[in-house]
C-alpha cells in the first residue's frame, strides 16, 4: 500500500512542483529583500548628505554631481 503511494507518477509530479515553486518563492523573497536593502542604502546616503536631491517624497529627484539644488 505505502509503496503504491510513494512510487507513482502523481507523487513525482507533486514533488517536482514543490521543488520548483520553493525555488521560485526563494528567488522572489531574495529580490524583494535586495530592493529593500538598496532603498535603505540610498535613503541613508541621502540623509548623510552624500547624495544631493531636489524635491520631497514621491517628487524627489537625485541630482547629478554637476547640478546644484537652488532651493536651499
Looking at the 3D structure of the chain, how many domains does it have? 1
For residue 72, is it within any domain?
no
Are 45 and 51 contacting, i.e. CB atoms less than 8 angstroms apart?
Answer: yes
Sequence-ordered alpha helix ranges (H) in 1-72: 2-6, 9-47
Q: Are strands 61-62 and 53-54 parallel, antiparallel or unpaired?
A: antiparallel
Cα→Cα distances 31→13, 27, 57, 61, 62, Å: 27, 6, 24, 24, 23
Question: pTM to 2 decimals?
Answer: 0.59
Q: Which domain holds residue 54?
A: 2-62
For residue 25, is it within any domain?
yes
For residue 29, is it within any domain?
yes
For residue 70, is it within any domain?
no
Tell me the pLDDT tens digit for each residue of 15-65: 999 999 999 999 999 999 999 999 999 999 999 989 888 888 888 888 887
Cα→Cα distances 10→3, 19, 26, Å: 13, 14, 24
Amino acid at each position: 500500500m505505502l509503496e503504491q503511494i510513494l512510487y507513482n507518477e502523481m507523487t513525482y509530479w507533486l514533488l517536482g512542483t514543490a521543488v520548483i515553486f520553493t525555488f521560485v518563492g526563494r528567488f522572489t523573497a531574495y529580490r524583494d529583500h535586495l530592493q529593500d536593502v538598496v532603498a535603505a542604502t540610498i535613503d541613508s546616503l541621502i540623509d548623510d548628505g552624500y547624495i544631493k536631491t531636489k524635491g520631497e517624497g514621491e517628487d524627489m529627484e537625485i541630482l547629478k554631481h554637476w547640478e546644484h539644488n537652488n532651493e536651499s
